[in-house]
Structure formats: structure tokens, C-alpha cells
């Protein structure tokens, strides 16, 4: 993370000379003139005034419009919709911005203030004894808060419904009362499709709960499910599930990990809460703090858009909502710059079917699903979307949907993920689905910590998503649980055609994992103390052969969905048109060249398919991680790579990696600087736990 002032063309677009300026302030009126002396009151009022200025009756304002918000808090009840009528033009963009030097916060939450000791004897009897003096109750109905939402089943392959009302304290999400407070429990037996005998008698405390729920990985380490508990059978510690919900991969007791939630009887530690929806009472074990503000999310989101162009939102804080904070469809040349987006029930910012849109310099954290999502570009014509996520800090994401919700995701064709910092996510950090994307200069650490057989960068099961480049990224401290642990770059189920060049991997369980795919180039990378540096398997010749050969299977269906044999695709990806005639179940033409590996195992390529690969001019020393020293300064930023034998490194054709182009950088549009974070140590497979 270095100081670098670099005004990209996209970033400069917002600096067009201002011809029309409007002002908004807390306490203003949306009927006012919109001057600094008589400001407007809200984002919706500002949108309406800009729309009126652009209306034909107003003479179609040709100049750029800037809307400046004075410091303060702006309560949003419903998302503000932007349409084509609210668009600017290339020569006359519309900019909504926070006043420089001030903090502008949009909130979708209501404050909860009147906290009282719990006196209801029935409630006290249900609370854990040690917690009773500490739990407080607020009457939401008396405070005028009537919308508590409902808990909805969610998880792998089930979609993402908006969150129920969530409690936040001092700007941090609190925990719906659960047991155990940390980690998971296991299962002993599956007695029927809906009956699971668990490994504890603690569940006997829950038989009087109004609406108990369970979160579980029932089979795979990457397929979670939130669902209601229909009943608790106390004589044999059985949870009875709903017959209406079926875990996608069934229930395997030896693999089950679960915890219970929404349990008043387990409200036993600071930060936990429970909402009694029937009575409208909120119970809260307040964290130890002299002062703190409790807030309950109410609004679904802040900004919704469709067919919007040349509009920028700059310098705002979007805080506490139940859905996506910002969601724009069919957008072009729209920008989100220098914003803080936090505490959303779903994702932070989503631009769908977008062109030349940008999310730049934002801080994104504590969101219920992923962080930033950009899709655009035409895969059939290989026309780039040119959307970019750059210089963003994304962390503590996917707190509600634990899998397949990336910190930053692009999809389509020709988009970029550039110089971001992503960490502390339970599953994937980055994903680039589609063609010709560039993932460059990012730093990723402490992800896939909860979900095994998962990747920090993950794509899978498609022969056609080619041309993607991962270069000059720094990946470190990435280890997952379960029998397969966690991968770093994971090209799953025959995914093909990636270029992985100039990356640094440090203390990663499986650094580059190619699951049976073709035509991947792995070159000029550095691996330090990784359990396994590179892996290629032959799954298409074994357990995945039937799926590979199936004409109705995913691989062949997705192949037919694109014009892979036309002249354009043939010239771009020359080996793809003949894939069905070239033993598609056998991984071929993967190239590993000019890599340096120190410590761990360099080569984990299946011997049955090794002769189909090119593995040459690599320098590996599995027993001596000290042959490569990674030099770090300041806040752990990587500043130098020192080789014990530099002549040997030069001899394999290794080229220096531009470390000064990795990670966040200072910029006028960065939401915060300097950026602080903590890198947590990890234990690789086969290593002893600290203190063991």
C-alpha cells in the first residue's frame, strides 16, 4: 500500500468544470431552491431537482451538474430509483458528492434508545442465569418500529433474500443469539431425511423456543444452509428439519458442521440479541462500552438504477440496510468513488450489464453477502465491458451467505479487478467468470477460512471461459478446513485457458490448483512455504468422465452456448474449436515455466497426465523455504523479494515482479488512508498447531 497519485481517465471524469451546482443539507427542504443558503433535504429530492433541470420544459441543461451534500446523517426509508431520465452525458456528467472534508452518512436504520432491565419472570427464566443482569430489553412497537422482517431459508443454490431486521451497535453488526458462540458442533446419526441426531444434549434447552433455526454444512464444506428447526426431540437429542427444505447434497453425519441460532435461551454473551416478533421486544446483551448507539436496519437499500449513464456518487458512507446497498442495471459510464459501504444485508455494490463503470477507492466491510460485483461485455462477440474495480478495501464480507459470494466479482467479457485489498472472508475473495478479464496487482489474505475445497480465486466447470489473466497479485495466509483444505487459485472441473504470471504465494495450502483443465500458463511466479505449489489432476479420466462425455452435461451445454468455432473465437482461442475431437477428458498443454518455489511441495501433477504438460526451467527447493526471503515493511506490505541464489533464478528466465504495483495506493479519491489491517497466522496441513 503505497502513496501514488494517479488520476486515471475514469477518475478524472468527475472533475469536469461545474456549470450547475445544487446543495443538500440535514434540515433542508426538498421544495427549497437548492442553494447553499436554502438547501434541499434528501437524495431523492436532489434526484428530482436534477431531473427537473434536464426536462425539455427546462430547456435541457447542457452543462454538468454537481450536487453537494453537507456533512450529516440522512435517513433513507426506501431506495432511491435512478433511470435514464437522471443520466448525464460524456460532456455533462452528473456528480453527487459529499462536501470535501465532511462526513456524509446515509443510513437505512432506526435508532433504538429506550433500554430497560428485563423484569418479565418468564423471560428471565429462559435466559442463561449469568446473562440475566446484563440483558436489556427495548419495546420496538412503543418506539414506532413495526417492521422486523422474517428469517428466510438461504444458502448454497437457494438465492439471497434480503435480511431480516438486524441490530448494529457502534456501527458493527451484532450476533443473533446462537450456540455454540463460536465454531460448530457435529452429528451422530441421520435418522431420516428430516431427523438428525446431534452430538450434544444442549438442544434440550430449545424446546420452548418460538422460532429456532440451524446453520449447517450438511455434506460439503462449501454448501451451507440456513433453515428453521421444526422441533427438538429431547429424549435422543434430535433436530427435526422442515420437509419443505432439502439440502442439495444430502446429510452425511461424519461431515456435518452446525450451530443453532435465533435462540433466546442462548443469549449469553456481549453482542448477542434476539427479537420477539410477536411482542415487538428486542433483547440485547450490550457490549461493554460507556457510550454506544444501537440501530435496527429497516430500509432495503440506498440506490437503485436502470439505464443510467454518466452519473457519479462520491465520498458517501452507505450504512445499514437489508438488501444490496447499491444496485444498478444496464449502466454505462457510472462511477462509485471514495465511498464507505458497510453493514448491508446482501452485497455492497452491484453493476449488472454495465459498460465502462467503475468502483474506485471504496472501503467495503461487514456486508451480508459479497462486496463488489461488476458484469458486462458480450461474450459471444468478445466485446469488452471495460468495467473496473480498483483500489478498494473489502473485508469481513459474507457474514450471512457464507459461500460463493466473492469480495470482488466480475463477469462477462473484458473487465478488470485492479489493485484491491481483500481479506477475512469465509469463502472466495475474487472471481472472474467469462472471458478476457484481467486480475492484477491485488493483495489477498485470510480467506476461505471456513469453507474447504474452495478457492480464494474461484471459477469452474466451463471450457469456454478463456483468456483471463491473473498477474502480479500477492496471495498469503490462505488455508481452509476439511479433507481438501483451501485452494488459492482454483480452476475447478476442467476450467481452462488462464494465464497466471508474476504472482507471489506465501503460506498457502494449495497455491495453483488446476482441476483437469487445458491450456493454462503458470509462469514467473514465486511460491514460499506453500503446502503444495502447483497441482494438476486427471478428474476427466476418472470420477468426472461421465459428466465430461454427457451431451446434456454442464461442460458441453456451455460449449454449445457460445460460437466457439467461428472465426473470431478460433483466432482468439485456437485449441478450443477442436476440443471434442481432442480427448476432452484429458488435461493437455498446461505450461509451467520459470517459477521459483521454496518450501513445501512444488510439483503435485498426476503422473498419468504429466507427459501432456510442459514443466520446464523451474527452480524448486522443497526442503528450504529460506532460499527466498520476502521483505515486508510498514503495515506488512511486500517491498522486496531476495533470492539466496540470484544467478540460478536468472538462469531459468525469471523476470522481476513489479511489487510497487501491488496493493492499495494513496489517492484523492481513496475513502481512507492509511489503511490498517491484521494478517492472522495460519497452520498449513501437516503442521502442528501453535502450542501443540
| Dihedral, CA of residue 456, residue 457, residue 459 and residue 460, to nearest 10 | -50
On average, the pLDDT of the chain sits at 94
Residue 596: CB atoms within 10 A of its CB come to 25
* Per-residue pLDDT at 366: 98
**Which DSSP string corresponds to 14-37?**
GGSPPSEEEEE-TT--TTS--SSS
In the chain, what is the straight-line distance between the N-terminal and C-terminal CA atoms, in Å? 35
Closest CA to 456 of 381, 406, 524: 406
Question: What residues pair up with 628 in beta bridges, in sequence order?
Answer: 643
In angstroms, the Cα distances linking 268 to 81, 181, 220, 265 are: 41, 9, 30, 8
* Per-residue pLDDT at 16: 40
* Per-residue pLDDT at 688: 67
Grid cell locating 40: 434541499
* Per-residue pLDDT at 2: 43
pLDDT tens digit sequence for 235-252: 999 999 999 999 999 999
Closest CA to 534 of 590, 577, 574: 590
Mean pLDDT within 597-605: 96
* Per-residue pLDDT at 210: 95
What's the pTM value of the predicted model, to 2 decimals?
0.95
Kindly provide the residue ranges of all beta strands, DSSP E only, lying in 472-565, ordered along the sequence: 474-478, 486-492, 498-501, 504-508, 510-514, 521-523, 526-536
Phi and psi at residue 86, to the nearest 5°: -105, 10
Between CA 141 and CA 234 the distance in angstroms is 34
Closest CA to 225 of 237, 242, 238: 242
pLDDT confidence of 57, banded at 50, 70, 90?
A: low
Residue the block writes with cell 489503511: 675
pLDDT tens digit sequence for 376-397: 999 999 999 999 999 999 999 9
Q: What is the DSSP letter of 47?
A: H
Whether the per-residue pLDDT at 689 is higher than 70: the answer is no
Whether the per-residue pLDDT at 584 is higher than 50: the answer is yes
CB 151 within 8 A of CB 302: no
Between CA 515 and CA 547 the distance in angstroms is 14
pLDDT tens digit sequence for 280-302: 999 999 998 767 899 999 999 99
pLDDT confidence of 157, banded at 50, 70, 90?
A: confident
Question: What residues pair up with 501 in beta bridges, in sequence order?
Answer: 471, 523
Whether the per-residue pLDDT at 484 is higher than 90: the answer is no
Mean pLDDT within 187-204: 97
From the number of C-beta atoms within 10 Å of its C-beta (0-12, 13-18, 19+), residue 44 rates as middle
* Per-residue pLDDT at 56: 67
Residue 645: CB atoms within 10 A of its CB come to 13
Between CA 130 and CA 134 the distance in angstroms is 8
In angstroms, the Cα distances linking 466 to 216, 382, 448, 520 are: 35, 11, 24, 9
* Per-residue pLDDT at 343: 98
* Per-residue pLDDT at 325: 98
Question: What residues pair up with 616 in beta bridges, in sequence order?
Answer: 593
pLDDT tens digit sequence for 58-104: 545 568 999 999 999 999 999 999 999 999 999 999 999 999 988 99
Which residue has better confidence, 62 or 600? Answer: 600
Amino acid at each position: 500500500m503505497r502513496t501514488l497519485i494517479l488520476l486515471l481517465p475514469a477518475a478524472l471524469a468527475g472533475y469536469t468544470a461545474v456549470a450547475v451546482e445544487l446543495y443538500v443539507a440535514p434540515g433542508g427542504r426538498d421544495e427549497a431552491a437548492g442553494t447553499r443558503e436554502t438547501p434541499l433535504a434528501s437524495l431523492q429530492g436532489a434526484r428530482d431537482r436534477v431531473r427537473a433541470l434536464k426536462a425539455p420544459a427546462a430547456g435541457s441543461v447542457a452543462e454538468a451538474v454537481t450536487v453537494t451534500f453537507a456533512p450529516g446523517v440522512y435517513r433513507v426509508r426506501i431506495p432511491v430509483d435512478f433511470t435514464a431520465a437522471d443520466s448525464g452525458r460524456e460532456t455533462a456528467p452528473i456528480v453527487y458528492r459529499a462536501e470535501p472534508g465532511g462526513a456524509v452518512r446515509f443510513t437505512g436504520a432506526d435508532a433504538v434508545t429506550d433500554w430497560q432491565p428485563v423484569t418479565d419472570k418468564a423471560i428471565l427464566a429462559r435466559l442463561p442465569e449469568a446473562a440475566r443482569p446484563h440483558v436489556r430489553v427495548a419495546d420496538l412497537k412503543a418506539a414506532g418500529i413495526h417492521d422486523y422482517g422474517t428469517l428466510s431459508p438461504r444458502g448454497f443454490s437457494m438465492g439471497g433474500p434480503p435480511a431480516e431486521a438486524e441490530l448494529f451497535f457502534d456501527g458493527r453488526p451484532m450476533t443473533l443469539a446462537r450456540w455454540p458462540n463460536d465454531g460448530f458442533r457435529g452429528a451422530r446419526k441421520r435418522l431420516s431425511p428430516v431427523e438428525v441426531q446431534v452430538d450434544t444434549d444442549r438442544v434440550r434447552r430449545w424446546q420452548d423456543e418460538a422460532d429456532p433455526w440451524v446453520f449447517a454444512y450438511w455434506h460439503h464444506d462449501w454448501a451451507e444452509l440456513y433453515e428453521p428447526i421444526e422441533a427438538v426431540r429431547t429424549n435422543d437429542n434430535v433436530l427435526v428439519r422442515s420437509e419443505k427444505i432439502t439440502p442439495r447434497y444430502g446429510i452425511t453425519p461424519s461431515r456435518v458442521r452446525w450451530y443453532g441460532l435465533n435462540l433466546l435461551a442462548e443469549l449469553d454473551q456481549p453482542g448477542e440479541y434476539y427479537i420477539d416478533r410477536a411482542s415487538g421486544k428486542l433483547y440485547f446483551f450490550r457490549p461493554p462500552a460507556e457510550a454506544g448507539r444501537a440501530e435496527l436496519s429497516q430500509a432495503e437499500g440506498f440506490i437503485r438504477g436502470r439505464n443510467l449513464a454518466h452519473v457519479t456518487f462520491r465520498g458517501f458512507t452507505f450504512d445499514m440496510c437489508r438488501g444490496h446497498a447499491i444496485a444498478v442495471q444496464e449502466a454505462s459510464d457510472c462511477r462509485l468513488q471514495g465511498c464507505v459501504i458497510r453493514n448491508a444485508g446482501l452485497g455492497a455494490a452491484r453493476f449488472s450489464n454495465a459498460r465502462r463503470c467503475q468502483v474506485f477507492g471504496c472501503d467495503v466491510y461487514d456486508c451480508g453477502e459479497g462486496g463488489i460485483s461488476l458484469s458486462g461485455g458480450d461474450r459471444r462477440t468478445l466485446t469488452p465491458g471495460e468495467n473496473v474495480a480498483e483500489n478498494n478495501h473489502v473485508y469481513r464480507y459474507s457474514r450471512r451467505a457464507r459461500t460463493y459470494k466473492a469480495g470482488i466479482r466480475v463477469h462477462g467479457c473484458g473487465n478488470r479487478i485492479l489493485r484491491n485489498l481483500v481479506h477475512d472472508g469465509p469463502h472466495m475473495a475474487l472471481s472472474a467468470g467469462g472471458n478476457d478479464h484481467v486480475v492484477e496487482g491485488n493483495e489477498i489474505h485470510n480467506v476461505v477460512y471456513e469453507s474447504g475445497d474452495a478457492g480464494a480465486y474461484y471459477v469452474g466447470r466451463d471450457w469456454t471461459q478463456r483468456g483471463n489473466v491473473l498477474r502480479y497479485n500477492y496471495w498469503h495466509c490462505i488455508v481452509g478446513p476439511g479433507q481438501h483444505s483451501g485452494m488459492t487459485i482454483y480452476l475447478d472441473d476442467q476450467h481452462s485457458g488462464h494465464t497466471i504470471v508474476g504472482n507471489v504465494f506465501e503460506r498457502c495450502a494449495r497455491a495453483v490448483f488446476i482441476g483437469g483443465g487445458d491450456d493454462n500458463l503458470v509462469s514467473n511466479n514465486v511460491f514460499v512455504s506453500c503446502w503444495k505449489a502447483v497441482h494438476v489432476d486427471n478428474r476427466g479420466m476418472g470420477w468426472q468422465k461421465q459428466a465430461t462425455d454427457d451431451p446434456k452435461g454442464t461442460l458441453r451445454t456451455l460449449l454449445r452456448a457460445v460460437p466457439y468455432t467461428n472465426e473470431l473465437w478460433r483466432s482468439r482461442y485456437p485449441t478450443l474449436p477442436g476440443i471434442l475431437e481432442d480427448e476432452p477428458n484429458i488435461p493437455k498443454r498446461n505450461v509451467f515455466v520459470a517459477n521459483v518455489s521454496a518450501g513445501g511441495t512444488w510439483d503435485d501433477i498426476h503422473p498419468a497426465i504429466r507427459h501432456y504438460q510442459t514443466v520446464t526451467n523451474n527452480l524448486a527447493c522443497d526442503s528450504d523455504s529460506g532460499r527466498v526471503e520476502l521483505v515486508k515493511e510498514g503495515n506488512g506490505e511486500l517491498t522486496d523479494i531476495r533470492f539466496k541464489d540470484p544467478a540460478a533464478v536468472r538462469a531459468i528466465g525469471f523476470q522481476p515482479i513489479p511489487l510497487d504495483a501491488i496493493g492499495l495506493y494513496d489517492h484523492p479519491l481513496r475513502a481512507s488512508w492509511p489503511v490498517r489491517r491484521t494478517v492472522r497466522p495460519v497452520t498449513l496441513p501437516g503442521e502442528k498447531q501453535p502450542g501443540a
